[in-house]
Amino acid sequence: MRGRLATDFERFGRELPRDFAGYVRQTYRIDLTARYLGYDLPHPFGKGSGQLSLNTDQLETDRAAGLAFVVLKTLIAETAAGERTMGAWAIHETRMAVERRLSLDGRDGWTVTWKGRGWDRSLSEYLGLVRAGRDLTCAGPDGMLVVPSVKYHLPRLGEPFIEAEYAHTTAQLADAWGDAQLPIEKDFSPTLAGDPLADERDQVLRWIGEVPGRIRRAAPHGARVQLKLMNARFDDAFQIEMLVAARGADGVTAFNRLFDSERRVAYGGWDLSDRNLRVLDLAGERGVAPAGLSATGNICSGRALLDYARRGCESGQLHTFFQLPLSEYPATAGSRTARALHALVFHPTDGLIVGMLELEEQGVLARHNGELRFLDLAASHFTEAQKATTEAQRHGEEHS
């Protein structure tokens, strides 16, 4: 297997087959099937919302490379009169800097420094992108799942939600999507985490609890709602409280970037994945097992994704790894997306295939009908988390 992997790594570095997941299944007997928001995916690698999902050219490049899914840039919701309470997030900024970032414990990673925020063009332009995304989603094996992302009004405690933003924006998106249930990701961003609006814990928990129902009610054919939770400026225990509050959502993306309050910018790198993995560990220990977990944060190798999968994540959303200088990818041809996928899946020491083969050797993964299955990792984590809940409940009963 390892000899074969070395050969595949070498030749796919010149051209990655679009259906590499089919090839992996046939050749290595590894089923990479993954899941996002209830959709089956050929493999777990997708693109997180941001500057790399702004137009149809980017979508077409990703589809051609064989990416599993894309979350579109976050739209800022508006009323029928065009009013936006979160208008401060719709600012225009083009310059991004891909930089090295040293983590607190001294590891060298990558981050993208950028002062912009949400979608800065019109709602009607966004709807055009959503229609193109829906066509790709419906195109079967030649297509790719594409999901819109939105930031809606978030009130202070005691104040009502501005329904007109939820109603108008969701109805417009649903209309662009057509007759099926609307898939949608709701972004709680790092700049929101850094905003005085997010200073109140109860206020944040109320948003997370109430937003999924509000979006669903505003969508004529219903909606599947993924909440992309932020790294709040509170402790790890609060991250767990947010996961618990999100139980009404169809899925949770964990967790958006950290906020550097001195430089007033969001950042990633190893500090981000360390925190996310630590919180997901804690969630498992406490028996909190959110449905539809999707990972985000410093996924720069197949191994990094496996770290998230072993904590319950069924897919991963990357941004930074699709932006590195070309010299950082081992492939010598193809789009950045194709070069990134090549390294993520086929790298002989850090890729997904070698990582799964190692987990088999360690007895963590077992074959079913001769196949290793990516989704078994998340499923077994949930069983462990449920065992932890039962154990905690039993412990509680014994002491009461």
Which DSSP letter does residue 371 get? B
Residue nearer to ligand FMN on the CB measure, 33 or 51: 51
Query: What span, in angstroms and rounded, lies between the C-alpha atoms of 27 and 8?
Result: 10
Residue nearer to ligand FMN on the CB measure, 58 or 317: 317
- The least CB distance from residue 98 to ligand FMN, in Å, is 9
The widest CA-to-CA distance across the chain, in whole angstroms, is 64
Which DSSP letter does residue 373 get? E
- The least CB distance from residue 357 to ligand FMN, in Å, is 25
- The least CB distance from residue 256 to ligand FMN, in Å, is 5
- The least CB distance from residue 232 to ligand FMN, in Å, is 15
- The least CB distance from residue 368 to ligand FMN, in Å, is 31
Residue nearer to ligand FMN on the CB measure, 184 or 365: 184
- The least CB distance from residue 265 to ligand FMN, in Å, is 10
- The least CB distance from residue 96 to ligand FMN, in Å, is 5
Residue nearer to ligand FMN on the CB measure, 8 or 78: 78
- The least CB distance from residue 28 to ligand FMN, in Å, is 26
Residue nearer to ligand FMN on the CB measure, 99 or 199: 99
Structure tokens given for 220 = 């004529």
Residue nearer to ligand FMN on the CB measure, 56 or 323: 323
The residue whose two tokens read 């930074």 is 320
Helices (H), the chain: 2-12, 20-28, 56-65, 123-137, 163-177, 190-193, 201-218, 236-245, 270-285, 302-309, 336-346, 352-361, 375-399
**318's torsion region: left (phi>0), alpha (psi -120 to 50) or beta?**
beta
Residues contacting residue 280 through CB under 8 Å, at least 6 positions apart:
254, 293, 308, 311, 312, 313
Residue nearer to ligand FMN on the CB measure, 193 or 372: 193
Residue nearer to ligand FMN on the CB measure, 21 or 299: 299
Residue nearer to ligand FMN on the CB measure, 296 or 376: 296
Pairing of strands 108-114, 96-102: antiparallel
- The least CB distance from residue 23 to ligand FMN, in Å, is 25
Contact between 273 and 298 under an 8 Å Cβ cutoff? The reply is: yes
- The least CB distance from residue 82 to ligand FMN, in Å, is 20
Residue nearer to ligand FMN on the CB measure, 102 or 138: 102
Residue with the CB atom nearest ligand FMN in the bound state:
48
Q: How far is CA 213 from CA 57, 186, 218, 225, in A?
A: 33, 12, 9, 9
Phi, psi angle pair for 151, to nearest 5°: -120, 115
Q: How far is CA 314 from CA 87, 311, 378, in A?
A: 33, 9, 6
Phi, psi angle pair for 223, to nearest 5°: -145, 150
- The least CB distance from residue 146 to ligand FMN, in Å, is 14
Contact between 232 and 254 under an 8 Å Cβ cutoff? The reply is: no
CA 204 centroid distance within chain: 20
Pairing of strands 34-36, 30-31: unpaired
Query: What span, in angstroms and rounded, lies between the C-alpha atoms of 273 and 320?
Result: 13
Which DSSP letter does residue 300 get? -
Structure tokens given for 241 = 């409280």
Residue nearer to ligand FMN on the CB measure, 232 or 272: 272
Task: Return the SS3 of 323.
Answer: coil
Positions touching ligand FMN (CB under 6 A) are 48-51, 73-74, 96, 112, 114, 118, 149, 187, 189, 228, 256-257, 268, 272, 296-299, 317-321
